[in-house]
Structure 1
Amino acid sequence: MSPLLSLYLGFSRVSGPLWRWSRRRRVARGKEVAERLPEKFGTYATPRPEGTVLWFHALSVGESLALVPLIERALDDLPDAHVVLTTSTATSATALAAARLPERAIHVLSPVDTVAATRAFLDHWRPDVAAFAELDFWPRLMVETKARGIPMILVNSRMPDGSFARRKRIAGPMRDVLRLFDRLLVQDEASVGRFAALGADPDRIEVAGALKAAARPLPADEGELAQLASAFGDRPRWLGAATHGTEHAAMIEAHGTVTKDEPRALLVLAPRHLRDADEAETLARTRFNVARRSRGEAIGAETQVYLADTIGEMGLWYRLCPVSFVGHSLLPDLEGKNPYEAAALGSAILHGPHMSYFAESYEALTAEGAAACVTDEDDLAKAVLRLQDEATRAGMSEGARRVIAARGAVLDRTWAAIRLLLS
């Protein structure tokens, strides 16, 4: 075991008071749900179900929603089993409630990384297998899981350039953690070599593809959808989805160009982080009439920008907007966001040139004519205007359907690998 990991594990034996202090601060700042805080320290209102329990872990909203079809598949295949899904954030709890997990799936917040909390979690749920999504590694939790002989599998993971460079700086602990896994299912060939370089056993690594390509369409409340569709009417519209705060100036500038050709056009702006909403509103109001969803402001004929600053409603915006710019991709140092949420709901996909986290996904979509890259606000405005034509969008939507259909096998491969560990 590396000295750095040994030091961390020693710290995890005495860090309980620090974790409790930090969680209370987060509750005060609205970043934790007070009534669910006991879950983070190993206290649960729900007893462990009888029989097989499968444990899936994901960091937050996007990662956990990508696991939902896999959880459904597991429960269909094992009618007497239950699933415990752990996530780390309060926002994921809100999103999963909207997504409506299957009846035999239980969502709890993941334990803080102390000896007491992780052992309390494992004592209570006694999982038969543990599937960790992507790269959310908590060493104490993983070491304790392995010590109990629970089979461990990494699913839906990738190692883009930036993440690889950062993790090489902690090569010792990364090697120790990666060697705990019985199987590692990665999204692309590039990740195979990078995981191996960080110390994973090459014989345990397999390319399975991206689960997000097989994810079910994001949900949407039918009543809200009908009400918003009526308010939007037949206006030309486009979506800025999962945008970063540094991209909002370009969004507003592009919309200014769009409205010169289409004066009735509406921009729905859905920032990735709600903390960016105030600044986005201030910026948009310098040029446009703005309505904000979190304040319940109505959309009128005069509304030019609708700030969609809520959690768990992206299914509405992708359904209502025929064109989506998928953000976190326009400027350097950004690394892209999942394009399949838009693709699954038929919204034509635009993106910037910086999307290394999802490079393989965008390459597949681009090859089928299902996504287009824009480089700046002028390029973005031209693409938005071009894609207001329904026939032009239709070709992109058909290409997206081909990609999603071709990648549906990722669900079969991932579940087969997990099922094997239960044998």
Structure 2
Amino acid sequence: MGRTLYSILLTLLLPVLVLRLWIKGRKSPAYRARWSERMGYSQRQRPSGSLVWFHTVSVGETIAAAPLIEAVMADERVSRVLITTTTPTGSDRVKALFGDRVEHVYCPWDTPGCVKRFLRRWEPTIAVMMETELWPNLIAGLELRCVPTILANARLSEKSAQGYAKLPRITKPMLSSFEAILAQHHNDAQRFIALGAATEKVHKVGSVKFDIQITPAQRSAAEALKHQFGDRFVWIAASTHRGEDEQILEAHAALRQAVPNALLVLVPRHPERFDQVAQLCHQLGPTVRRSSAELPQDDTAVYVGDTMGEMMVMFGACSAALVGGSLIEHGGHNVLEPAVWGIPVLSGPHVHNFEAICQEMQTAGALMIVPNSTELSTSLVRLATDAIECKAQGEAAAAFLETKRGALAAQLAHILALL
């Protein structure tokens, strides 16, 4: 299939995309707002001067890209930055991190018309796509307008690479359009090259996620929350998805058999699941929701993190962390966020979104892979009852992170070289 057929099919599917947003809006009303932006329209005017556009998709990519965006904004040659996302939660994160210091709209759907309207409105000086944002018409539109485009913090799982390999007439021209592909890992770089990217344009520079920093405000808030939790073993299950919560609660029940006052901080990935997960937790034992501002008591079994933008704070208040999206075949989430706090990091076996990082962490003894709830509870009991091992696992995670820093400077240099 070529890009022409792809464009026709996607244009015909636009009513389905709108219907999908409407359906998702039942649980998350924000999906029913700002539809015009997804069609490429905007009431906002392009600011004068150079405009660097970052597309960060959702929450995780936005948080990871934040230090890079801040560094770009600090360059005197950059007049303004535009950040696009595709989800309301990603949009909320942009507003929380940057406020009115940046321009922000939703990314347009990848039809020729939507892309043309968007690019005609914003006319970016440089475009930076984060991680795996490969949209054929968007990339082609940027090339047509001679806008240098970088795929930053680029990653590509083996599964995704196999999918792109089935569409060579779309994939090869798209990858050839990038000025540079800044791969997180050697394996990612090789997959991009195998799909048609020019070898000289693919650079293995590491992940900017390694350059994560704890702010003074986050450290202070974490200490305050840790004080509220009291002197007991507290572990967090972060960014969980449907199908994981039951396994996590089962493991926590087993943990409490050995450590009766253990507390679970359970943070669902998506806000529309907050109420459902809270109801599920009540079946295990006394449950407190963070949004209620109620303090956890000595008998509280589960603390539901049902607020946005506080994940880093919650990591800092806990003794160990399980990163969700990995007990089911979702592909996992960022295992480096808890590592920076120097606490033991656990993950399920399904980590294809962070395959290289997880493999390296596991080899370094900085990540514990638990295939099921039984193994999860066994590992948690060991960490809760062996302070020496718990400390060693946390130190290994922090040490691994420190050895990998530096990708931010390398990626920044590639971006600024295009100004």
What is the TM-score when the length of structure 2 is the normalising length?
0.89
The reply to whether residue 162 of structure 1 matches residue 159 of structure 2 is yes
Q: Structure 2 matches for 1:306-345, cutoff 5 A?
A: 306-331=303-328, 333-345=329-341
Q: Distance in 2 between matches of 1:193 and 1:411?
A: 21
Q: Which residue of 1 aligns with 2:354?
A: 358
Q: Distance in 2 between matches of 1:247 and 1:17?
A: 32
Q: Distance in 1 between matches of 2:33 and 2:218?
A: 26
Q: Which residue of 2 aligns with 1:210?
A: 207
Aligned residue type for 2:174: V
Q: Which residue of 2 aligns with 1:68?
A: 66
| Contact 2:234 2:318 (C-alpha < 8 Å) held by counterparts | yes
The verdict on how the C-alpha distance between 1:15 and 1:352 changes in structure 2, with shifts beyond 3 A counting, is closer
Q: Which moved further from structure 2: 366-375 or 138-147?
A: 366-375
| Contact 1:208 1:410 (C-alpha < 8 Å) held by counterparts | yes
The verdict on how the C-alpha distance between 1:198 and 1:345 changes in structure 2, with shifts beyond 3 A counting, is same
The verdict on how the C-alpha distance between 1:251 and 1:27 changes in structure 2, with shifts beyond 3 A counting, is closer
Q: Distance in 1 between matches of 2:214 and 2:162?
A: 33
The reply to whether residue 375 of structure 1 matches residue 374 of structure 2 is no
Aligned residue type for 1:156: N
Q: Which moved further from structure 2: 344-353 or 280-289?
A: 280-289
Q: Which residue of 2 aligns with 1:42?
A: 40
Q: Which moved further from structure 2: 171-180 or 82-91?
A: 171-180
The reply to whether residue 9 of structure 1 matches residue 12 of structure 2 is no
Q: Distance in 2 between matches of 1:281 and 1:270?
A: 10
Q: Distance in 2 between matches of 1:386 and 1:25?
A: 44
Structure 2: 5+ residue stretches without partners? none
Q: Which moved further from structure 2: 191-200 or 61-70?
A: 191-200
Q: Which residue of 2 aligns with 1:92?
A: 90
Q: Distance in 1 between matches of 2:113 and 2:22?
A: 18
Aligned residue type for 2:210: A
**Cα shift readout 1:375-419 (whole Å, capped 9, x = no counterpart):** 332322232233235443333333333333332210111111112
Match of 1:58 among 56, 59, 77: 56
The verdict on how the C-alpha distance between 1:34 and 1:276 changes in structure 2, with shifts beyond 3 A counting, is closer
The verdict on how the C-alpha distance between 1:31 and 1:197 changes in structure 2, with shifts beyond 3 A counting, is farther
Q: Distance in 2 between matches of 1:240 and 1:25?
A: 28
Q: Which moved further from structure 2: 172-181 or 126-135?
A: 172-181
The verdict on how the C-alpha distance between 1:292 and 1:104 changes in structure 2, with shifts beyond 3 A counting, is closer
Q: Structure 2 matches for 1:341-420, cutoff 5 A?
A: 341-388=337-384, 389-420=386-417
Paired residue secondary structure (1:64): helix
The reply to whether residue 300 of structure 1 matches residue 297 of structure 2 is yes
The verdict on how the C-alpha distance between 1:339 and 1:188 changes in structure 2, with shifts beyond 3 A counting, is same
**Deviation at 1:91?**
0.8
| Contact 2:149 2:180 (C-alpha < 8 Å) held by counterparts | yes
Q: Distance in 2 between matches of 1:22 and 1:377?
A: 33
**Cα shift readout 1:238-260 (whole Å, capped 9, x = no counterpart):** 11112232222221221112111
**Cα shift readout 1:291-343 (whole Å, capped 9, x = no counterpart):** 33456665333321122233322123201112001122235x34222111111
Aligned residue type for 1:375: P
Q: Distance in 1 between matches of 2:149 and 2:117?
A: 18
Aligned residue type for 2:63: L
The verdict on how the C-alpha distance between 1:370 and 1:298 changes in structure 2, with shifts beyond 3 A counting, is same
Q: Distance in 1 between matches of 2:246 and 2:19?
A: 37
Aligned residue type for 1:245: R
The verdict on how the C-alpha distance between 1:196 and 1:24 changes in structure 2, with shifts beyond 3 A counting, is same
The verdict on how the C-alpha distance between 1:215 and 1:46 changes in structure 2, with shifts beyond 3 A counting, is farther
Q: Which residue of 1 aligns with 2:249?
A: 252
The verdict on how the C-alpha distance between 1:164 and 1:219 changes in structure 2, with shifts beyond 3 A counting, is farther
Structure 1: 5+ residue stretches without partners? none
Q: Distance in 1 between matches of 2:23 and 2:248?
A: 34
**Cα shift readout 1:128-183 (whole Å, capped 9, x = no counterpart):** 11111111223222221111000011111211122122223333222232122121
**Deviation at 1:94?**
1.6
**Deviation at 1:32?**
3.3
**Deviation at 1:233?**
1.8
Q: Distance in 2 between matches of 1:14 and 1:284?
A: 43
Q: Which residue of 1 aligns with 2:126?
A: 129
**Cα shift readout 1:79-108 (whole Å, capped 9, x = no counterpart):** 65321111111110122233x227642222
Q: Which moved further from structure 2: 130-139 or 398-407?
A: 398-407
Q: Distance in 2 between matches of 1:120 and 1:216?
A: 37
Q: Distance in 1 between matches of 2:415 and 2:78?
A: 16
The reply to whether residue 106 of structure 1 matches residue 117 of structure 2 is no
Q: Which residue of 2 aligns with 1:83?
A: 81
| Contact 2:264 2:303 (C-alpha < 8 Å) held by counterparts | yes
Aligned residue type for 2:340: A
Identity rate of aligned residues, in percent?
31
Q: Which moved further from structure 2: 220-229 or 308-317?
A: 220-229
Q: Distance in 2 between matches of 1:271 and 1:220?
A: 23
Paired residue secondary structure (2:182): strand
What is the TM-score when the length of structure 1 is the normalising length?
0.88
Q: Distance in 2 between matches of 1:50 and 1:66?
A: 27
Paired residue secondary structure (2:213): coil
Q: Distance in 2 between matches of 1:256 and 1:138?
A: 44
Aligned residue type for 2:345: I
**Deviation at 1:199?**
2.0
